[in-house]
Amino acid sequence: MSTKIQKMIHNYLEAWNQKNQNDFKKAFSKVLSENLKYTDPTFDVTGVDAIVNMALDSLEKFPGRKFEMLTEPEFHHNVGRYNWRMIFADGTFQNGFDCFEFTEDFFITRIIAFF
């Protein structure tokens, strides 16, 4: 397992745990390509700013929520997957998993999330 890929995904998931727009932007910009494509059951967006807006919206809807990794990423040929959990302020949670694509210099270009 490449520690660079593990770090990239850990940093991406930790970016979701920021608390304001500036911190979201700074954290996501470290791991996402500027033209990232993100798809989940409710969103289909492109770009870092769109992810920042999604994170802000998520935090507004679920104050105190936190993301954690459940499984280390598995990958081959610049694609991978991992499992995560969103823990709500009341202690309940929702599990999900992401499939991702990334560049040779370890920036995520595509995320397909399932939950």
**15, 84 contact by CB (below 8 A):** no
User: What number is the average pLDDT over the span 4-24?
Assistant: 97
What proportion of the chain, given as a percentage, has pLDDT over 90? 97
How far from 9 is each of 4, 18, 92, CA to CA, in Å? 9, 15, 23
Q: Which residue has the tokens 């999604």?
A: 54
pLDDT in tens, 21-50: 999 999 999 999 999 999 999 999 999 999
pLDDT in tens, 90-109: 999 999 999 999 999 999 99
* Residue-averaged pLDDT of the chain: 96
Is the pLDDT score of 71 beyond 60? Answer: yes
**Per-residue pLDDT, 58:** 96
List, in sequence order, every beta strand (DSSP E) within the chain.
32-39, 44-46, 66-69, 74-76, 79-87, 93-102, 108-114
pTM for this structure?
0.94
**Per-residue pLDDT, 82:** 98
Is the pLDDT score of 1 beyond 50? Answer: no
